[in-house]
Amino acid sequence: MKNSIIRVVAFLTVSAWLPGVQAQEKDLLDLVDDGKEPHTIVTNAFKSIRIINGHSMEFLAPGTMDFRILHRFGQINQGTKNLFGLDQASMRLGLDFGLTRKLQVGIGRSTFKKELDCYIKYAPIRQSAGSHAFPVTIALVGGATINTLPFADPTRTNYFSSRVAYYVQTIIGRKFSDRITLQLTPTMVHHNLVPLATQPNDVFAVGFGGRIKASQRIAFTWDYFYNINGLEKGVNYNPLSVGVDIETGGHVFQLHFSNATGMNERAFITETTNTWEKVDLRFGFNLSRIFQLKKAKSS
């Protein structure tokens, strides 16, 4: 009788302990994973969701909002009469929302032509490392702008659609190392209405941008858009901006110089009327503050 009781207790003990051993063994096998590194999305290619003017390959985390102030002073070559441009200013206020790791939306309002703008950005493919790695991020952006200024000729029949312009672009970017990121951005801007019949409704451009990280909190950035068919000689020019990003906790503070006045895609790609050759530059800053709207899911 005593031996039977011992056998029963031993059996129950081993039965209870065995699943734990099997689970531990399975966890260890999952960690080994045939020697492959886990699939991870490459992040922090840029310190911000915009390089300077244009969108970057970076995305907001899900459940976060980026409150963004873009501020640009007047032309620095005007000298002391306008305090090197500090007496003048244009601005864009924006709200950007991270919906998923691959989807982001935003709205904004600019003082330049009092334009409202909105966009959606989606990345079907993001640069990744480990198993099933992919070398670049490919993101698609679509946006619209609305000019809210009074119509130039209120006596004629005017349509709301005449105020609207659209843009679509593809971002192809790669973070080559912790220090260097580069991206290419083919873009098309469509105007429903153009001032002159000689001006194209569809403007094609190619953007180039990059970042060189100088330290843990400081990086040098630039973006440039080459206008393929929309430039009128002596009237408008390709926009070029160079700057430095400074990260201070939840803020990203960016100082930059640019020949563009407008701060949405329609404005800076098709209506940049200043040139670096004549030092028609504007000093400005972009300020970004991230807010957590939804608690991140614990892993």
Query: 22 or 292, which is more confident?
Result: 292
299 located within any domain: no
Q: What is the percent of the chain with per-residue pLDDT over 90, rounded to a whole number?
A: 58
Q: Which pair of tokens denotes residue 52?
A: 């300077």
Q: What is the pLDDT of residue 4?
A: 45
Task: Give one word for 91, left, alpha or beta, with left for phi > 0 and alpha for psi -120 to 50.
Answer: beta
SS3 of 42, please?
Answer: coil
**How large is the average pLDDT for residues 172-199?**
92
- Residue numbers of the domain that contains 26: 2-34
298: pLDDT strictly greater than 80? no
8 located within any domain: yes
Mark whether 20 and 128 lie in a shared domain. no
Mark whether 18 and 49 lie in a shared domain. no
Q: Of the ranges 94-103, 124-133, 200-209, which one carries the lowest mean pLDDT score?
A: 124-133
Mark whether 29 and 106 lie in a shared domain. no
Tens of pLDDT along 236-270? 899 999 999 998 876 788 999 999 999 999 999 99
Mark whether 6 and 87 lie in a shared domain. no
36-50, 210-224, 236-250 — which one is most confidently predicted on average? 210-224
Mark whether 77 and 215 lie in a shared domain. yes
Tens of pLDDT along 76-86? 887 788 787 78
Mark whether 30 and 46 lie in a shared domain. no
228: pLDDT strictly greater than 70? yes
Mark whether 15 and 110 lie in a shared domain. no
Mark whether 117 and 253 lie in a shared domain. yes
User: For the chain, what is the mean pLDDT?
Assistant: 85
> What total number of domains does the chain contain?
2
Q: What is the pLDDT of residue 9?
A: 40
Mark whether 118 and 214 lie in a shared domain. yes
Tens of pLDDT along 1-40? 444 444 534 443 444 344 443 444 344 444 444 556 788 8
Mark whether 74 and 220 lie in a shared domain. yes
111 located within any domain: yes
Mark whether 87 and 179 lie in a shared domain. yes
CATH number for 168: 2.40.160.40
79 located within any domain: yes
Q: Check: CB of residue 110 under 8 Å from CB of residue 94.
A: no
Number of Cβ atoms within 10 Å of the Cβ of 255: 13
pTM: 0.81
Distance CA 272, CA 259 (A): 7
115: pLDDT strictly greater than 80? yes
